[in-house]
Amino acid sequence: MSTEPRGWQAEADRLANASVGRGDPTGWFEELYAAGESGEVTMAWDHDDPQPLLADWTHEGDVTGAGLRALVVGCGLGAEAEHLAALGFATTAFDLSPTAIRTARSRHPGSSVDYQVADLLDPPREWHRAFDLVVEIYTVQAVPRDLRDRMISAVSDLVASGGTLLAIQAVLDPADDGSGPPWPLTREEIESFVRHGLTKVAVEELHLADTSPRWRAEFVR
């Protein structure tokens, strides 16, 4: 009998549907990472290189972080946080899932990133408008749409005065049946960060060769 782990996507659908169904829209993340850690399924959202749209943005903008604080929301296994730390940012990265954070720490021994378990919907008070750069990739779209406005408001609240938010999300396909996960964003939703004190710099709808369209959105406070 094969002992190969099953692919994580089908498990994500199963766990998310059960979790949302019992009124716990975020409980499935820890269950999914724990199943990955045990070897039952492959590890979810597992990548060593930073998200390409983030890497391009930092490269094209010649972004450097000396003397600046960055925060990665829903950081998963840490590739994006490590990228920002390598650019010189004093980087904090958090995730709801203790298993994700434990895995991120063990994969990056000696890292300067401050990895923390925290809930975007109830963040530490000292993070209020504290970060020069906030990076949010696929976290808003990973929770059901009835929490969308709270998630977007909470992300916005982390950006310091003069700071920047970079958000990367999937674009909602008109044929999407809404069953999720994920629950991609409309243009109105990605632009709604401006309703929480931020100013739009650019909202790009990017059509890439190997994946469905993505929003890459930059805002400042």
Give contact residues for ligand SAM (rule: CB under 6 A).
26, 29, 45, 51, 74-76, 95-97, 100, 119-121, 137-139, 142-143
Q: How far is the CB of 16 from ligand SAM (least distance, A)?
A: 11
H or E, element range at 216:
strand 214-220
> Is the Cβ of residue 199 or residue 204 nearer to ligand SAM in the bound state?
204
Sheet hosting strand 214-220, strand order edge to edge:
114-117, 90-95, 69-73, 131-137, 159-170, 214-220, 199-206
The residue among 36 and 65 lying less far from ligand SAM, judged by its C-beta, is 36
DSSP string of 78-115, one letter each residue:
SHHHHHHHHTT-EEEEEES-HHHHHHHHHHSTT---EE
Considering beta carbons, is residue 49 or 199 the nearer one to ligand SAM?
A: 49
Nearer to ligand SAM, 44 or 68 (CB): 44
Residue of this chain nearest to ligand SAM (CB atom): 74
Distance in Å, CB of 67 to ligand SAM, minimum: 25
Q: Which is nearer to ligand SAM, 38 or 199 (CB)?
A: 38
Least distance CB 151 / ligand SAM (angstroms): 7
Round to whole Å and give the CA distance between 72 and 157. 13
d(CA 114, CA 82): 10
Q: Report the nearest approach of ligand SAM to the CB of residue 52 (Å).
A: 11
